Structure 1
Amino acid sequence: MTILVIFLFIFFLLIGIPISLVLGMTTVVYFFTAGNFVLMDSTPQRLFSGLDNFGLLAIPLFMLTGELMNGGGITSRLVIFARVLVGHVRGGLAYVTVIANMFLASILGSANAQAAMMSKVMVPEMEKEGYKREFSAALTLASSIVAPIIPPSMIFIIYGTLSGTSIGGLFMAGIIPGIIFGIGFTALIAFLGYKYNFPRSERASAKVIWQSAINVLPAMLVPVIITVGILTGAFTATESAAVACFIAFIVGKFFYKELDWRKLPTILVNTVISTATVTFLIAMANIFGWMIAFEQIPQLIAKSMLSVSESPFVFLFLVNIFLLLIGTVLDGIAALIILVPVLMPLVTHFQIDPIHFGVIICINLTIGLLTPPVGTGLFIVSSIAEVRFEKLVRATMPLLLLGIAILFIITYWQDAVLFIPRLLGL
């Protein structure tokens, strides 16, 4: 029966059915072929229970925050500020792309949304200044993987909900890894900039830098309030999402005055569509995981991994390789929902900190956005930036390899992840 499930799963994926429907269809076919109609009767209740979690409420609220910030003119001001700071050095616009993505990561928390938004803004600008279009698109995509690492993070919320791990602790744990990614990408740009003689812009005057800094301050209120609020215990990570929505609306409407009332219906519709997509996927993945548990697949995987080695270092290496392979064919959120219940017993067995493991698995599956053949980020940026898929894949390879190298550094350098959570007692 397990072989049938695997075959159907792969077949449905290959013929292009959306992953959420693949998960649901595979589960229903399994129940029918197994003749287990008792499980079939319980499926609607299981679908609901998979979404009946307070932590998941943060997802639509953070999505609404991102839409409000984008509609309120925050994105353009962050990009302008980054350009004023570093635009004059060689490869300046490439640095701007990385820095702007780090700023936006603290607002959007979704790599796909960030890659789509930044592709519209930065790729044409970089091409005008003399960068190759495929490199511009690849850098925009690769630097967007910091989005699920720097708080707030949708993927951390889902992992925390599934594993019972502190979402606030995960948010704080993502700060240093996000900075490491930023440093890694800027170092690679510096090397490529001197090798290929990247262009540079004019140096901004001190007056322009000061004005830009003042102008961007309201935009930084959202991440600051979220971080300070969680650190001080003023509100939970979920409650911080509601506060962020309110602040984003105030900033966009009354500070920048770009959030017109006529934009609100579009903002709300976009939020509803994005939320429905994610929650439907979570519900389908929940019943798929239920089926996997019924087939005792987690126990089989656990036995096979334990038979290789009892060392936590070897376990983490095997998990990283396994997740990198999974990320080439499966959407990150779907993989997270399916695999966390499978892997958490092993995490407990090897006495690995669940916050550290959460950062590892979330970074790993986010890297899947860059990996062919099913890297969703590749398809999104290829379409928006109008770059051939094959050219984009080739241009992304150095950045992908760098991302994997940083992943392994974070895997075995535990203090880089846990320093801030431990400092704060999370």
Structure 2
Amino acid sequence: MTIAAFVLLLFGAVPIALVLGLTAMVYIQASGNTVLFESYPQQLFAAIESYGLLAIPLFMLAGELMNEGGVTRRLIDLARLLVGGFRGGLAYINLVANMMMASIVGSAASQIAIMSRAMVPAMEAEGYDRPYSAAITAAGGLLSPIIPPSMLFVLFGVMAQVPIAEMFIAGILPGLLLGLAFFLAIAVVGIRQQYPKGRWPSRYEARRALVMGLPALGIPLIIIGGILLGVATPTESAALASLDALLLGRFLYGELRLACLPMVLQRTAMNAGLVIMLIAAAGVFGWVVTYERLPQLAAAGIAALTTDPFLFLLLLVGVLLLVGMIIDGIAALILVVPILLPIAEQQFGVSPYQFGVVVCLTLVLGLLTPPVGAGLYIASSMTGTPPLRIFRALLPFLLASLATLVLLAWQPWLTEWLISR
């Protein structure tokens, strides 16, 4: 009955937070343990009673302030200075700017929306076809959940009870590796399609880009540097990044109007509220999952298939690709971590850092794959391009992502080496 209620609600277009909360209530009623209803509010609150979760709204606020204050445009100008002269230069600029934004925004969907508005019209004006421009922008959004900071990493760290700062550090090498794979994909497509040769900025343009762009680059440096040096927690780094974005947009670039702040705060509160509500409902659902001993049952089933950690992670990637195609990444993470993390650690000796990076990257691929593909539809609505045309142009980047996932599953040191330094 509980499974039937979950499936019915999930495919009945009910918000996922309500699906999780109502399914837990159905289970309690069906099991006859109605006394558990007394613990229901306590479990809801316990799921969000974590200092680390404060980083989520603060990183959202930093991204909103950057976009309103013109910080995003300065990062794009800085990226042009670095890679703008290569063939297919704007494609590389798009990717480098996405990597810079990934170290600030932390949300793939938000990043795709921001960069689609900023980059696709410029690429189209220089001769790139619109589906390919939208595809590069959408693919760049995949960097957001891997390069720190990452909302998925924050959530995973809270659920897995591992330090969020160490999860961020674990994502640095995989994020750079994924960026390199995307660079190679752009190079191959650029040679085949003969995209226009880029233009290096003039000396005046380069000087201006440096002067205006370096302060903007200070935001990711504050976040990553504060965490790596141990002088600030991820939550404190997010607060400092928000303050820096506010000061830059208001006083240096002069584009952030005080009249816009209520709207910025409202958008941040609404988006963060949705995430926190989902986490609270998932806490109750995870409580039910543990009560029913589902992790133990799943462990027995997986152990019958393989005892090799690499094969286990490949099986995990295959299953989660299907899950990510149907369910939002945050919701899917909340569903699978309580069940699969104990199996990975106890049965196969997989570290939580390797597990977390592989799971987060796999789930976020669902943003760009039908039938749900929220990121695909965001890029489509922002650019006016049919989703299937964007998806076809995305295939080289999806293949590059899968190759990166296989490498991360095969070589655990890629996620653990920086942590041990």
Q: Is the counterpart of residue 228 in structure 1 residue 221 in structure 2?
A: no
Q: Structure 1 residues 91 and 378, CA, compared in 2 at 3 Å: closer, same or farther?
A: same
Q: Is the counterpart of residue 43 in structure 1 residue 40 in structure 2?
A: yes
Q: Is the counterpart of residue 335 in structure 1 residue 332 in structure 2?
A: yes
**Structure 2: unaligned runs, 5 residues or longer:** none
Q: 1:61 aligns with which of 58, 63, 85?
A: 58
Q: 1:400 aligns with which of 398, 406, 411?
A: 398
Residue 158 of structure 1 deviates from its aligned partner by 0.6
Residue 21 of structure 1 deviates from its aligned partner by 2.2
Residue number in structure 2 paired with 1:106: 103
1:369 aligns to what SS in structure 2?
A: helix
**Cα distance in 1 between the residues matched to 2:274 and 2:151:** 13
**Cα distance in 2 between the residues matched to 1:10 and 1:199:** 49
1:379 aligns to what SS in structure 2?
A: helix
**Structure 1: unaligned runs, 5 residues or longer:** none
Residue number in structure 2 paired with 1:159: 156
Confirm or deny: 8 A CA contact 2:2 2:30 kept in the other structure. Answer: no
Residue 82 of structure 1 deviates from its aligned partner by 1.5
**Cα distance in 1 between the residues matched to 2:399 and 2:370:** 13
Q: Is the counterpart of residue 387 in structure 1 residue 401 in structure 2?
A: no
Residue number in structure 2 paired with 1:378: 376
**Cα distance in 1 between the residues matched to 2:403 and 2:275:** 29
Confirm or deny: 8 A CA contact 2:71 2:245 kept in the other structure. Answer: no
Q: After TM superposition, list the pairs within 5 Å mapping 1:321-360 onto structure 2.
A: 321-349=318-346, 350-360=348-358
**Cα distance in 2 between the residues matched to 1:40 and 1:378:** 40
Matched to 1:226, the amino acid is I
**Cα distance in 1 between the residues matched to 2:16 and 2:387:** 21
Confirm or deny: 8 A CA contact 1:47 1:287 kept in the other structure. Answer: yes
Q: Deviations over 1:259-313 (max 9, x none)?
A: 2211111110011011001111111122122222222221111111112222222
Residue 248 of structure 1 deviates from its aligned partner by 1.9
* Higher mean C-alpha displacement, 251-260 vs 278-287: 251-260
Confirm or deny: 8 A CA contact 1:286 1:338 kept in the other structure. Answer: no
Residue number in structure 2 paired with 1:369: 367
**Cα distance in 2 between the residues matched to 1:234 and 1:165:** 18
**Cα distance in 2 between the residues matched to 1:391 and 1:59:** 33
Q: After TM superposition, list the pairs within 5 Å mapping 1:193-204 onto structure 2.
A: 193-204=190-201
RMSD of aligned C-alpha atoms? 1.6
Residue 379 of structure 1 deviates from its aligned partner by 1.9
**Cα distance in 1 between the residues matched to 2:351 and 2:27:** 35
Normalised by the length of structure 2, the TM-score is: 0.95
Q: After TM superposition, list the pairs within 5 Å mapping 1:145-156 onto structure 2.
A: 145-156=142-153
Confirm or deny: 8 A CA contact 1:58 1:157 kept in the other structure. Answer: yes
**Cα distance in 1 between the residues matched to 2:17 and 2:377:** 18
2:326 aligns to what SS in structure 1?
A: coil
Residue number in structure 1 paired with 2:81: 84
Q: Is the counterpart of residue 249 in structure 1 residue 246 in structure 2?
A: yes
**Cα distance in 1 between the residues matched to 2:238 and 2:151:** 11
Q: Deviations over 1:208-232 (max 9, x none)?
A: 2232122111111121122222222
**Cα distance in 2 between the residues matched to 1:180 and 1:231:** 19
**Cα distance in 2 between the residues matched to 1:346 and 1:7:** 25
**Cα distance in 2 between the residues matched to 1:261 and 1:173:** 37
Residue 193 of structure 1 deviates from its aligned partner by 0.8
Residue 202 of structure 1 deviates from its aligned partner by 3.1
Confirm or deny: 8 A CA contact 2:89 2:199 kept in the other structure. Answer: no
* Higher mean C-alpha displacement, 237-246 vs 329-338: 237-246
Residue number in structure 2 paired with 1:174: 171
Percent identity of the aligned residues?
Answer: 45
Matched to 2:193, the amino acid is Y
Residue number in structure 1 paired with 2:127: 130
Confirm or deny: 8 A CA contact 1:60 1:275 kept in the other structure. Answer: yes
Residue 86 of structure 1 deviates from its aligned partner by 2.4
Residue number in structure 2 paired with 1:214: 211
Q: 1:29 aligns with which of 6, 26, 30?
A: 26
Residue number in structure 2 paired with 1:279: 276
**Cα distance in 2 between the residues matched to 1:255 and 1:347:** 49
Confirm or deny: 8 A CA contact 1:27 1:288 kept in the other structure. Answer: yes
Confirm or deny: 8 A CA contact 1:367 1:404 kept in the other structure. Answer: no
Residue number in structure 1 paired with 2:286: 289
Residue 78 of structure 1 deviates from its aligned partner by 0.9
* Higher mean C-alpha displacement, 141-150 vs 206-215: 206-215
Matched to 1:285, the amino acid is A
**Cα distance in 2 between the residues matched to 1:8 and 1:83:** 52
Matched to 2:14, the amino acid is I
**Cα distance in 2 between the residues matched to 1:231 and 1:389:** 39
**Cα distance in 2 between the residues matched to 1:6 and 1:94:** 46
Residue 154 of structure 1 deviates from its aligned partner by 1.0
Q: After TM superposition, list the pairs within 5 Å mapping 1:293-304 onto structure 2.
A: 293-304=290-301
Residue number in structure 2 paired with 1:411: 409
| Pairs aligned (count) | 420
Matched to 1:334, the amino acid is A
Confirm or deny: 8 A CA contact 1:105 1:150 kept in the other structure. Answer: yes
Confirm or deny: 8 A CA contact 1:69 1:248 kept in the other structure. Answer: yes
**Cα distance in 2 between the residues matched to 1:328 and 1:62:** 26
Residue 98 of structure 1 deviates from its aligned partner by 0.7
